[in-house]
Amino acid sequence: MRTILFALAFIQAQAVMAGDLAQRLLSKDDKVRSAAWQEMNAAPPSENVKLAPALIAGLTDKDETTRGKAAETLAQAFYRTPQEAPERKAAAKALIKALADDSPSVRSSAADALGRVGIGSEAREAVPALIKLLAQPRQETHDVTIAGMKGKQTIFHDGERRGALEALRHPAAASALPQIIAVLQGKEEDPYVRSRAAFALGAFGDKPEALSALIGAVKDADPGVRGEAACQLGRFRHANAQALAAVASALQDPDAEVRGAAQRCVPSPGAVASSSAKPQAPAPAQAASTKPAAAPPAPAPTPDERKLLREKVLKDCVSEIGLFCHPFQDDARAVVSCLRSNKASLLEACAKSLEAYR
């Protein structure tokens, strides 16, 4: 009996500690929140799942900022947790509900978080809600009255739509392919949002329509879209001759950013360029022994181009790291601590990419 009581007391103490940490994670005091995030990042996934009830409750807080922080913190708390964990499923369901929040910034944070937590078995509920976010116009203007004065307020939805696209990068979201492709091919869309659509299509390279859209995007006018399309297409370059040719084309793109993206995502760029070359007719006297001529290798980046590529990779990494270590952006020591405690493969990939362009 004494053992049972001790166990119950221990469980209760653990719940109280988790609740206290959750409160500090949602604090409006930047220093308090920064310290709490370091504590959370240093903890094993089995400890972070205990934060779920308090953070999920934070998604319905009356304060808009708190709701947004709750979504961001859920993403950080669960990205290392197994998909089948009950707490992770509960977090995903709560984030799906938050996609309908009145605040665009909360909807954006919820979509971003859902991309990190993963829609998993909740795809049936998540995909329609994410498609609804994609269906929003880029911006809306409303009449407002502030302090008795009438005016116009413009609300931008690109953040929500970008987050929705990243969350839809999941095999269970195949029903959203038409909407994702429409964003990728939308000429009035923000280029970065379109590049996120290419990123999302990377989960559906086995689908002919996704493959076709990525092949077409390698010829897009925007280098960011071309680079992301080439990168995602690199995973499926052997699907057909057109895919292989598109990747080879990206490896020789006149823009260093596009070439860099293709080189980072293709294991053997030289082999791709060689295998995509059209055979040349052999000379009559040497027909039996002449091999098909290979395409010239992709040009190596010049020193200036390597510098630009380094800056691009660093910028992309900083953007992604911001999602992991968001509260510490203005505190260098806290950022270092966050990075040291974060074992995400993303950070390893960033380091390898930067190493490639030293």
The conformation of residue 252, written as its DSSP 8-state character, comes to: T
Q: Is the pLDDT of residue 342 over 60?
A: no
Q: What are phi and psi of 156, to 5 degrees?
A: -100, 140
**What pLDDT, in 10s, does the model give residues 89-101?**
888 999 999 999 9
Which range has the worst mean pLDDT, 99-113, 160-174, 261-275?
261-275
> Which residue type does 158 have?
D
Q: What is the mean pLDDT of residues 76-101?
A: 85
pLDDT at 294 over 60: no
- Of residues 90 and 297, the one with the higher pLDDT is 90
Per-residue pLDDT reduced to its tens digit, 282-292: 445 444 444 44
CB count within 10 Å of CB 283 equals: 8
* Span 221-245, pLDDT tens digits: 999 999 999 989 887 777 778 888 8
- Above 70 in pLDDT, residue 338? no
DSSP annotation of 155: E
**Average of per-residue pLDDT across 336-351:** 52
Range list of H helices, the chain: 2-25, 30-42, 45-48, 52-58, 64-78, 86-98, 104-117, 123-134, 158-167, 177-185, 191-201, 208-217, 223-233, 241-251, 256-265, 269-275, 303-324, 332-341, 345-356
Give the tens place of pLDDT for each residue, 121-174. Answer: 788 899 999 999 998 877 766 565 665 666 666 676 788 899 999 899 988 899
Supply the pLDDT for residue 101. Answer: 94
Q: Is the pLDDT of residue 219 over 50?
A: yes
Provide the pLDDT for residue 300.
58
**What is the predicted pLDDT for the residue at 146?**
61
Q: Which has more confidence, 207 or 82?
A: 207
> Which CATH number is associated with domain 17-168?
1.25.10.10
329 CB-side CA count, 13 A: 9
Domain extent listing, the chain: 17-168, 192-279+293-300, 302-358
Mean pLDDT value of segment 16-24 = 71
